[in-house]
Amino acid sequence: MSRPRQPRLLDRYELVQPLGAGGMAKVYLARLADPSGFDRHFALKLLESVDDPAGAEEQVLFRHEARVLGSLHHQHIAQIFDAGVAPDGAHYLVMEYVHGATLREVLEAARHAGRQLPLGFGLTVIAAAAAGLHHAHQRRSADGPMGIVHRDVSPSNLMIGHDGSVKLIDFGIAWSRNRSLETRRGIVRGKPGYMSPEQLMELPLDGRSDVFALGVVAYEATTQTRAFRASSEHETARRVVQGKVRSPAAARPGYPAELTELVMTALAPDPASRFASAGELARACADVAGRLGLSLGPRAVSDVMRSLFPDAREPWLAPPMPRPRRRHRHRPAPRPGPRQRQPRRAGGGSAGPGDGAQRRHRHRGDAAQRAGPGDHARAPRRRSDDDALRVAGRRRLLSAAGRSHFAARGRHRRGTVVGCCWRPRPTGSCSASRSRSASAA
């Protein structure tokens, strides 16, 4: 029996299992346990040490993300608790673990279930994300406004908790004024389908760029269709810049006019025509919900999560998955067939020890050697490689009982297996006909 694999330790944290990966970083479920009884689980983001220019740039972005997250304290932003460098040079961030799924996974689950998400769910998610973004946009340091822009608002970076919480995650490519690494000209970071026109054109950014991205998420969360879907990223970027988007009322029948106005205002190609801030978008969501008679809050989210993920338990409470058995690649030995009578010599008596070859070869290829004087002997025929492969393939498909029946049928009736067919031999080569001819003589 193999020994259980020891968990990997990273400073004080035990890496329990992987949760996901993105770019050069991986996210693990980590556990911090203390002899005094303190026990808590976290989401640990790990960036392995890489000795190349790309790895060095990722490390700079990683440290910048730690500084940005350390300055943010909001209920709709995943909190950071620790950051450091392991002895092997790997960088890590210890963040709040949100028990739930990303908005992308929620949309996929609803699509597979054939369900339409309630408008109250989508408005709650957008209002919560807008509140978190407004907090980040307004954050100040000792030197003045930090000017934080997320730049990667998308369904994959919105965590939806089973308890109804909504958390904004992944500030890995966020921009701020105290950033030490500037994006090189011609390199655009983000997802083209969720980037603002000014971000695609590499123009100066502010909080209204995140408002546009959140408008794209609002379109998708309330209609369950992509706003700027195209055959290629280049075509998607062209549609974003030109503002070619279908009205959400055309994507979902019965879509309210008030919600259409909200989404299309957030998706305006000109930043001056959008909501002035993410906070204004959050207030607009609450106003539209009030006019439509929708209730916003954690319950509108938890009801949907409970219906889509009814058996969701924390990973450390779920029963362990059984380890699959290793399949043996070698072919098992065939089961022995029924015992057969030894062939007789031409001069009488049974075969002796020197006739091992005659005892081993009992197929029809040796019929000529076993034939009597009055029999019509057939010329010995060697089985070809193709016949052997076909027989081997056929026997692998049979069950254990089928193989036994196959062996008994082939040995007792002295048949020949060719492909998947059984052909009887001529009666002249059968031992029974040999005995009959001897008695007749």
CB 166 within 8 A of CB 159: yes
Active site residue 152: yes
80-85 and 91-95 as β-strands: parallel, antiparallel, unpaired?
antiparallel
Record the tokens describing residue 440, joined without a space: 């007749």
Torsion of CA 157, 159, 165, 169, to 10 degrees: -40
CB 66 within 8 A of CB 170: no
- Select from 160, 187, 212 the least CA-distant residue to 57: 187
8-10 and 25-33 as β-strands: parallel, antiparallel, unpaired?
unpaired
CB 133 within 8 A of CB 214: yes
CB 8 within 8 A of CB 15: yes
- Could you count the other beta carbons within 10 Å of the beta carbon of residue 167? 22
Catalytic residue (one of 34, 52, 88, 152)? 152
Torsion of CA 183, 188, 190, 193, to 10 degrees: 160
365 vs 368: CA distance, rounded Å: 7
Record the tokens describing residue 322, joined without a space: 């059984």
Record the tokens describing residue 397, joined without a space: 């498909």
Please state, in angstroms and as integers, the Cα–Cα distance from residue 106 to each residue in 19, 196, 285, 300, following that order: 16, 24, 20, 14
Record the tokens describing residue 118, joined without a space: 């309630």
Residues with catalytic function:
152
